[in-house]
A = this chain, B = another copy of it.
Amino acid sequence: MRIAIDAMGGDNAPQAIVEGINLAKKNYPELEFLLFGKENEIKKYLTDEKNVTIIHTDEKINSDDEPVKSIRQKKQASMVLAAHAVKNKEADALFSAGNTGALLAAGLFVVGRIKKVERPGLMTTMPVFTGEAGAGFDFIDMGANADNKPEHLLTYGILGSFYAKKVRSIENPRVGLLNNGTEATKGSELTKAAYELLEKEESINFIGNVEARDLFNGVADVVVTDGFTGNAVLKSVEGTAMSLMTILKSSIMDSGLKGKMGALMLKDSLKGMKSTLDYSSHGGAVLFGVKAPVVKTHGSTGPEAVSHTMGQIKTMLETNLVEELQTFFDNKEA
């Protein structure tokens, strides 16, 4: 199992990425890594070269580069070379903490779509607050697409269900459709049409509509939405959580000694809450529906999360997730 790593992508690259690979080498000795980027900088942080091949390149894609253009023009960029390694079967999966749009473009145009998956979606496992350890739901599409058709949402139901079964070991994952009400008759033109398709699909356990308000109550194992709404929901959750944290901080600053002491104690719980909310603890976001695992983490991702994400990719490879998806779609009638 060889993973192509864009060592230059992310706010703290290559240090955070390489240190994450150092950790992953210990945690998953069966993995091999192809590190794309500046050799001397990578070597500065790499503990040893066991299971590692460095492919030197000076070029990289910046966070403010225009995604599709940069993929086409910066042919020697670390991310682009890593994507080509996957395309050419020199590696089995692609990882980057860099420019999200560029990684999506690299996934779509270099790694390539699975047949019959018209619009791959970005998926992540979001936490739920039911108190159950590791509980969460797979949220797809988080924003790879700005416009989706009903058929795409059906595909996301199938993709999410595969992931929940294979990677999260959920036997019969409950697939919900994000909608503006729980009744079957509710929705926009898009969600009403998607509802009908999801309901007819025999390979999944469709449980009907779910509302954004109930997402964190564990109402479903997979939640399907269009990329525009998914993006808005994700950013609303982030914005609300960040605002509440800020208010809590200022409450602590304004409170007396007793309050400060108590706040200090609570602060640990609240940090725990913050890390629960941080969906990167469940691994990276997967561009799902392309011919190999393409996984992305936050630009600010640290070594622990990079290593954790390598474990996630390992599970995706071990369970033959992508191959089985390809077989499924090959056999599916259009």
Is A269 close to B, CB under 8 A? yes
In the complex with contacts A262-B258, A266-B259, A214-B239 CB distance below 8 A: yes
Interface residues of A in 175-218 (CB under 8 A from B): 178, 180, 186-189, 191, 211-217
Residues of B within 8 A of A215 (CB): 236, 239
Query: Does A279 count as interface, using CB distance less than 8 angstroms?
Result: no
Report the Cα distance A213→B233, complex, angstroms: 9
Complex contact B265–A266 (CB within 8 A)? no
Judge whether A235 is part of the interface by a CB distance below 8 angstroms.
yes
- Not counting A241-B244, A251-B269, a sample of 11 additional A-B residue pairs whose C-beta atoms are within 8 angstroms of each other reads A129-B246, A129-B247, A131-B250, A143-B180, A147-B189, A178-B232, A217-B239, A232-B233, A255-B265, A259-B262, A262-B265
**Docked CA distance A265–B238 (Å):** 26
Q: Does A1 contact B (CB under 8 A)?
A: no
Contact with B along A269-301 (1 / 0, CB 8 A): 110010010000000000000000000000000
Contact B258 A270 (CB under 8 A): no
Residue of chain B at shortest CB distance from A245: B244
Whether A56 is near chain B, meaning CB under 8 Å from some CB there, is: no
CB distance B233 to A247 under 8 Å?
no
- Rounded to whole angstroms, the CA-CA distance of A256 and B261 in the bound complex is 11
A306 to chain B: closest CB distance in Å? 24
**Which of B187, B211, B241, B266 has a CB less than 8 Å from the CB of A263?**
B266
Q: Answer yes or no: A248 CB below 8 A from chain B CBs.
A: yes
A258 touches B261 (CB 8 A): yes
Q: Are A269 and B246 interface neighbours, CB within 8 A? A: no
Count the A residues whose beta carbon is within 8 Å of the partner chain — how many? 59
A positions within 8 Å CB-CB of B: 129, 131, 143, 146-147, 178, 180, 186-189, 191, 211-217, 225, 227-229, 231-244, 246-248, 250-252, 254-256, 258-266, 269-270, 273, 276
- With the chains together, A98 CA to B269 CA distance in Å? 39
Contacts of A231 in B (CB 8 A): 180, 212
If the complex has contacts A143-B180, A264-B262, are A247 and B232 also in contact, measured as CB distance less than 8 A? no
Q: Which residues of B contact A227 (CB under 8 A)?
A: 180
Nearest-CB residue, chain B, relative to A241: B240
Chain B residue nearest in CB terms to A257: B262
Q: State whether A248 touches B266 (Cβ < 8 A).
A: yes
Residue pair A188, B236 in contact (C-beta under 8 Å): no
Alpha-carbon distance A240/B232, docked complex (angstroms) = 13
- Would you give 7 A-B contacts (Cβ < 8 Å), ordered by A? A146-B188, A146-B191, A213-B238, A232-B233, A247-B270, A259-B262, A262-B263
Contact partner of A259 (CB less than 8 A), chosen from B191, B211, B265, is: B265
